[in-house]
Structure 1
Amino acid sequence: ADWTMVQAMAEAVSRRWHEPDHGIWEERHAPRHHVYSKVMCWLTIDRAIKLGEQFGRELDPSWVPLRDTIATDVLKNGWNDEVQSFTTAYDGDDLDAASLFVGLSGLIDPADERFQSTVTAIEAELRSGSTVYRYHRDDGLPGDEGGFHLCAAWMIESYLLTGRRTEAEELFGQIVAAAGPTGLLPEEYDPVAERSLGNHPQAYSHLGLIRCSQLLSR
């Protein structure tokens, strides 16, 4: 049953990976070719291949070339020479923390200069002290938001992958401190007012923290 589900997911990717979408954050704008979405399509096919190889399943012959096609598409269209970073989508130069998954997923070697440059660019644009914003752009919604603890966790892992352990440890300590006396993390954090924002507690903030603690303990 699990393999049937994997095949269905791979089939969905094969039919729709080339379509624009609203991205991980479901923005209220016209669909775009989001880097994160393309990377997740690549990841689906890559893991389907690895699962099939590990458990002796018959692989669809189209999967390997499809994986290569998606990777080539991301590396060609997702990278922006002007900002020296993988951007939010193929059609602009704005940045998004989710684009860190180009390296976090394994699509590109973390030692690749393009990933290291992306980490630096997103850090400069979206990190503010103890937190990392999803993006800085009009998303069709009123008001401002804080940084996302999950995005900070992605940054910690990116630091580790690019050999910046000191920065990873420092940011991890800041996230832990933000939990306060309850030991619980919210969805967002306002680094100016130093207060929690959004849903509280937030499961994926804790999942990000747990993953980083595991990585740092190795």
Structure 2
Amino acid sequence: MGNKPIRIGNQASEHIQNDVYGQAMIDLLPLFTDYRFRHQNKGLASQWTRFVLQKMELTIDEKDAGIWEFRNMEKRHCYSNLFQWAGATTALKIARQYSLEEISIQANSKRERAIEHIESCYDDQRKAYTNAQDNTDLDAFTLQLIMMGYLNPNSTKAKDHLVQLEKVLKGEHDLFYRYLHKDDFGRPKSTFLVCSFWYV
């Protein structure tokens, strides 16, 4: 409508987001666990599972920009390690189906490492998971700890965590803020729709 200037692109190409390897592993699961293709998939399952696990090995201890692509706030985000946990859990399922013992050991090792990082985000006093290690900020993405099955939804830990998120991040009309701490653009003033779906 004649508005200028028009910006093309953003800084996303510069961001490190280490959850992607777990996301990729999860996407491979239906292909590699479909028994109809078991025999033709064995080589590919071994090759690709090993490849993604190696990427996770290189990044599991690394700080990143997180799901919200913070520009100047690299941290070891709970979200990134949650998806590395999920990816390693997926790799373990694939390895067990094809009796890939070495990959099974690697996957279990990555899974345990991811758990260490996730648990380092737990705030004992508030009984809630923070957005990153050595941080006190709460973030709606930690709702996915329950959605992804890391926390048992019926557990006291999951219920306590949910109560804290409701107390801090739930706005009007049951809509959720992503977070309320100051970011690169200041303090958030509006809710974020996808977080409300996670809450539901």
Query: Normalized against structure 2, the TM-score is what?
Result: 0.69
Q: Is contact 1:134–1:147 with CA below 8 Å preserved after alignment?
A: yes
Tell me the CA shift for residue 151 of structure 1. Answer: 0.6
Paired residue for 2:108, among 64, 74, 84?
Answer: 64
Q: Is contact 2:178–2:195 with CA below 8 Å preserved after alignment?
A: yes
1:118 aligns with 2:161: yes
Tell me the CA shift for residue 70 of structure 1. Answer: 1.8
Aligned equivalents of 2:54, 2:114: Cα separation in 1:
14
1:17-166 matched pairs, under 5 angstroms: 17-54=60-97, 56=98, 58-59=100-101, 60=103, 61-75=105-119, 77-128=120-171, 129-142=173-186, 144-156=188-200
Name the CA shift for 1:78/1:48 in 2 (closer, same or farther; >3 Å). same
- 2:56 counterpart residue number: 13
Which one-letter code corresponds to 1:81 in the other structure? D
Aligned equivalents of 1:143, 1:87: Cα separation in 2:
17
Q: Is contact 1:17–1:38 with CA below 8 Å preserved after alignment?
A: yes
Aligned equivalents of 1:45, 1:39: Cα separation in 2:
10
Name the CA shift for 1:143/1:92 in 2 (closer, same or farther; >3 Å). closer
TM-align CA RMSD: 2.0
More strand by share: 1
Q: Is contact 2:137–2:181 with CA below 8 Å preserved after alignment?
A: yes
Q: Is contact 2:180–2:187 with CA below 8 Å preserved after alignment?
A: no
Tell me the CA shift for residue 62 of structure 1. Answer: 1.8
* Range moving further from structure 2, 4-13 or 24-33: 4-13
Q: Kindly provide the CA deviation profile for residues 43-81 of structure 1, in whole angstroms up to 9, marking residues without a partner as x.
A: 111111112334x25241221132123213322x11002
Which one-letter code corresponds to 1:68 in the other structure? E
Q: Is contact 2:141–2:178 with CA below 8 Å preserved after alignment?
A: yes
Which one-letter code corresponds to 1:125 in the other structure? V
Number of aligned positions between the proteins: 154
- 1:203 counterpart residue number: none
Query: Normalized against structure 1, the TM-score is what?
Result: 0.64
Q: Is contact 1:85–1:117 with CA below 8 Å preserved after alignment?
A: yes
Q: Is contact 1:71–1:107 with CA below 8 Å preserved after alignment?
A: no
Q: Kindly provide the CA deviation profile for residues 141-181 of structure 1, in whole angstroms up to 9, marking residues without a partner as x.
A: 2574522221111111xxxxxxxxxxxxxxxxxxxxxxxxx
- Secondary structure (helix, strand or coil) at the match of 2:132 reads coil
Aligned equivalents of 1:53, 1:146: Cα separation in 2:
45
Q: Is contact 1:22–1:30 with CA below 8 Å preserved after alignment?
A: yes
- Secondary structure (helix, strand or coil) at the match of 1:147 reads coil
Tell me the CA shift for residue 97 of structure 1. Answer: 0.5
The gaps in structure 1 that reach 5 residues or longer are 157-218
